[in-house]
Amino acid sequence: MAIKIIDHAFDPYYEIQRYQNTQLDHLGAIGATSLFIGTMRDFNQGSQVTGMSLEHYPGMTEKQLELCIEKAKGLWPILDSLIIHRVGTITPNEVIVLIAVWSSHRGDAFDATRYIMEALKSTVPFWKKECLETDAERWVTSNTSG
Amino acid sequence: MAIKIIDHAFDPYYEIQRYQNTQLDHLGAIGATSLFIGTMRDFNQGSQVTGMSLEHYPGMTEKQLELCIEKAKGLWPILDSLIIHRVGTITPNEVIVLIAVWSSHRGDAFDATRYIMEALKSTVPFWKKECLETDAERWVTSNTSG
Amino acid sequence: MSIKVYYFASLKEHVGSSEHELDFTQSLTVNEVWLQANATLVLPKNTLAAINMDYVDWDSLVSDGDVVAFFPPVTGG
Amino acid sequence: MSIKVYYFASLKEHVGSSEHELDFTQSLTVNEVWLQANATLVLPKNTLAAINMDYVDWDSLVSDGDVVAFFPPVTGG
């Protein structure tokens, strides 16, 4: 299990490969890997968006991410998981979040990945501020439902 | 949209990266990427499994995979998708199937990926024969529910 | 009329052949194609049928030049 | 007793500061901490509160050495 907060652009597939090659638990038992990758779009709520800054609460972020994983583990028999989340200045098409869940059976991996993503969006202290084409900035005030 | 049947081991992350770099549609609109990777376990139904051969019906396989994607597109606004499935001789820990779905919003990517996986397992003409530790072979007679 | 019949996986082993070519003088259903080709064999329950790579019911009619396939429940993914 | 108060995101801009240090002589709730620190400011609705990085209700009591944080609904992922 690993949690990473990264302040620069990252390639989610490189990160997953590295994790699988060096840290992954329970290899022979894994039948299902479910991944979710959230990417910054170039539009939101009707406006062109040119960039974003992502603030967080260091320490509480990691604590709440661990809680998301612990809760998922209590609900499904997952074998391993990895969460990586960006902070700092982000441009469109860059990855904001990667969630990976490994399990023996596919239903558990699907359920746990989605659960962790929804839990992250509602409980982990990250805040997005968008830069619009007009040079205006605006805080994103609430997450859309999943 | 792409469908590939491959008769040798492949790295799903390399394939996804290549697809994203050369073929992916609607880049700026993509907010969510959902991936499912099915891997061969070293046990099944209480037995140690040392290998597997995966037979398919060439032509019908592709036709039914396309149908899975078309049906998903009718249900959710997905922007692009990729399915890769192994055939031939497979050893434990190798990847059997990769499903990737790209969409603007996460719920659609999650739903469509899971739908395509369940549709694949119930309609696409692949058949698994397992090689057991005892050197016996056995056809897998039905898929587990997802 | 002439049709091709394919068998896959455990059904191929059960039939002992991967394909048959059949000629008929009258229209037949998928079920009748099975009986013509494999009259002496028990049909395993849950066997699926396709015409030209689309799933069909066992009472569907086959046409000249069709490819009929029989196979067990699929187990991919 | 002495506590730290942190503000994040739009609430940090609203308060005009990222942190306060406060000293009290008696026990206080989270709500009373907000009033002590920002008596003249409207509290934006939906503001969330944490003590020592765990979410808490506004009537939770703070203890000496606690870190209290106030912030708007989270929008990560």
In chain B, % of residues over pLDDT 70 = 100
Q: Which pLDDT does position A144 carry in this prediction?
A: 78
Q: Which pLDDT does position B27 carry in this prediction?
A: 84
Best mutation target among C4, C48, C53, C74 (most B Cβ atoms within 10 Å) is C74
The residue-averaged pLDDT of B49-67 equals: 97
Token readout for C41 is: 């064999």
Which CATH number describes the domain made up of D2-71?
3.10.20.30
Task: At D3, give phi and psi (nearest 5°).
Answer: -135, 160
Q: Which pLDDT does position A146 carry in this prediction?
A: 76
Which CATH number describes the domain made up of B2-139?
3.90.1170.40
Query: Which among B99, B63, B103 is positioned nearest to B82, based on CA atoms?
Result: B99
Average predicted confidence (pLDDT) for chain A:
95
CA–CA separation, A99 and A120 (whole Å): 10
Do B107 and A11 make contact, defined as CB atoms within 8 angstroms? no
Q: Which pLDDT does position A75 carry in this prediction?
A: 98
Chains A and D form CB pairs within 8 A to the count of 74
Q: Give yes or no for residue A54 having a pLDDT over 90.
A: yes
Q: How do the domains of chain B map onto residue ranges?
A: 2-139
The answer to whether D and C touch (≥3 CB pairs < 8 Å) is no
Q: Which pLDDT does position B135 carry in this prediction?
A: 87
Do B42 and A32 make contact, defined as CB atoms within 8 angstroms? no
Counted residue by residue, chain A has a size of 146
Q: Give yes or no for residue A135 having a pLDDT over 90.
A: no
How many angstroms away from the CA of A96 is the closest CA of chain D? 6
The residue-averaged pLDDT of D28-56 equals: 96
Q: Which pLDDT does position A143 carry in this prediction?
A: 83
Question: What pTM was computed for the model?
Answer: 0.95
Residue of B134 and A77 predicted with greater confidence: A77
Query: Which among A11, A37, A47 is positioned nearest to A130, based on CA atoms?
Result: A47
Confidence class for position B26, pLDDT limits 50, 70, 90: confident
Q: Give yes or no for residue B46 having a pLDDT over 90.
A: no
The residue-averaged pLDDT of A63-83 equals: 98
Q: Measure the CA dihedral B82/B4/A109/A39, to 10°.
A: -20
Q: Give yes or no for residue B57 having a pLDDT over 80.
A: yes
Looking at chain D, which residue has its C-alpha nearest residue A95? D77
Write out chain D residues lying below 8 Å of A124, CB-based.
74, 76-77
Q: Which pLDDT does position C71 carry in this prediction?
A: 98
Residues on chain D bordering chain A, Cβ-to-Cβ distance under 8 angstroms: 6, 8-10, 50, 53-55, 69, 71-77
Surface-to-core class of residue B111, CB atoms within 10 Å of its CB (0-12 exposed, 13-18 middle, 19+ buried): buried
Do B104 and A41 make contact, defined as CB atoms within 8 angstroms? yes
Q: How many alpha carbons fall within 13 Å on the CB side of residue B41?
A: 19
**Spatial contact of C3 and C66, defined as CB atoms under 8 Å apart:** yes
Do A54 and D54 make contact, defined as CB atoms within 8 angstroms? no
Parallel, antiparallel, or unpaired: how do β-strands A2-6 and A78-86 relate? parallel
Q: How do the domains of chain C map onto residue ranges?
A: 2-71
| B59, B63, B143 member nearest C77 (Cβ) | B143
Q: Give yes or no for residue A145 having a pLDDT over 80.
A: no
- Helix (H) and strand (E) counts in chain C: 2, 7
Q: Give yes or no for residue B144 having a pLDDT over 90.
A: no
CA–CA separation, A76 and A112 (whole Å): 7
For B7-23, what is each residue's pLDDT tens digit? 999 999 999 999 999 99
Q: Given CB atoms, is A16 within the 8 Å cutoff of chain B?
A: yes
Q: Which pLDDT does position A50 carry in this prediction?
A: 93
| C54, C74, C77 member nearest B96 (Cβ) | C77
Do D76 and A142 make contact, defined as CB atoms within 8 angstroms? no
For C19-66, what is each residue's pLDDT tens digit? 999 999 999 999 999 999 998 999 999 999 999 999 999 999 999 999
| Chain B residues 54-83 with a CB less than 8 Å from chain A | none
Q: Give yes or no for residue B45 having a pLDDT over 90.
A: no
Write out chain B residues lying below 8 Å of A52, CB-based.
none
DSSP secondary structure letter of residue A7: S
Q: Give yes or no for residue B102 having a pLDDT over 90.
A: yes
CA–CA separation, D75 and D72 (whole Å): 9
Alpha helices in chain A (DSSP H): 12-22, 60-75, 106-123
Task: At D13, give phi and psi (nearest 5°).
Answer: -65, -40
Neighbours of chain C (3+ CB pairs under 8 A): B
Task: At D61, give phi and psi (nearest 5°).
Answer: -90, 140
Do B16 and A16 make contact, defined as CB atoms within 8 angstroms? no
| Chain A residues 98-127 with a CB less than 8 Å from chain B | 104-107, 109-110, 113-114, 117
Q: Which pLDDT does position C20 carry in this prediction?
A: 96
The residue-averaged pLDDT of A44-62 equals: 94
Q: Give yes or no for residue B25 having a pLDDT over 90.
A: no
Write out chain A residues lying below 8 Å of B110, CB-based.
36, 110, 113-114, 117, 146
